Amino acid sequence: AFRGEGLLPEDWVSHGADLVAAADGTIQDARDGVPDNTPVGAYVVPMTSENAFGNYVVLDVGNRHQAFAVYAHLVPGSLRVKTGDAVVAGQVLGKLGNSGNSGAPHLHFHVCDGLGPMGGAGEAFYCNGLPYEIPAVTLLGTMPFDDVNAGIPFVPHDPPGSLVNELVLGEQVLNLGP
């Protein structure tokens, strides 16, 4: 998962990867300016529900209050979109980082049914999750979070598998790229 000792966000293989829109839609909300945390270290900013996502993008992929895709923990300064922008599937939104409630660079992605109890921007943390399918992805293997935390190296399946029109499950290690 990382090079060297993994003490800097940039040491992690996933840090800085492009994050792309899962579908056509409109940016409902976006936040930038929260610094990346030091991996496996202390949080740079106090953890509250307001900054748990760190830098994030909320993409309205359906009619208002029906389906929103949430991307959290982006690199500060990497967002390429702003609230109100129309985007197309595959368009780069920003880069994977370690901001907010994140101990190591990763993408927190979920699809949910609304913007929270008050219906306002920034409330995607409080919405109800919705199932979603990924059209096609390479399954490299699985790895329990305890193994990640223990520093056990990931060993991919040989050969890798594939998932078609399936919901991604916890602990799956995927290649979402071409």
**Residue 85 has what pLDDT?**
97
- The model's confidence at residue 20, banded by pLDDT at 50, 70 and 90, is very high
Looking at per-residue confidence, does 5 or 76 come out higher?
76
8 A C-beta contact, residue 36 and residue 75: yes
Q: Can you read off the two tokens belonging to residue 108?
A: 């927190």
pTM recorded for the entire structure: 0.84
Q: Are 122 and 147 in contact (CB under 8 A)?
A: no
pLDDT at 135 over 70: yes
Give the confidence band of 117 by pLDDT, cuts at 50, 70, 90. very low
SS3 55: strand
DSSP 5-42: T--SGGGBTTTT-EEE-SSSEEEEEEE--PPBPPTTS-
Which tens digits make up the pLDDT trace of 27-44?
988 999 999 999 887 889
Both tokens assigned to 7: 């003490």
- Both tokens of 44, joined, read 């740079």
Determine the distance from the C-alpha atom of residue 174 to the mean position of all C-alpha atoms in its chain, rounded to a whole number: 13
Q: Which two tokens stand for residue 87?
A: 């985007």
pLDDT band per the 50, 70, 90 thresholds, residue 77: very high
> Does residue 1 carry a pLDDT above 70?
yes
* Residue 32 confidence (pLDDT): 95
177, pLDDT greater than 80: no
In 3D space, the residue among 173, 131, 168, 167 whose CA is nearest the CA of residue 152 turns out to be 173
pLDDT of residue 76 exceeding 90, the answer is: yes
> What percentage of the chain has pLDDT greater than the value 70?
90
Q: What is the pLDDT of residue 146?
A: 83
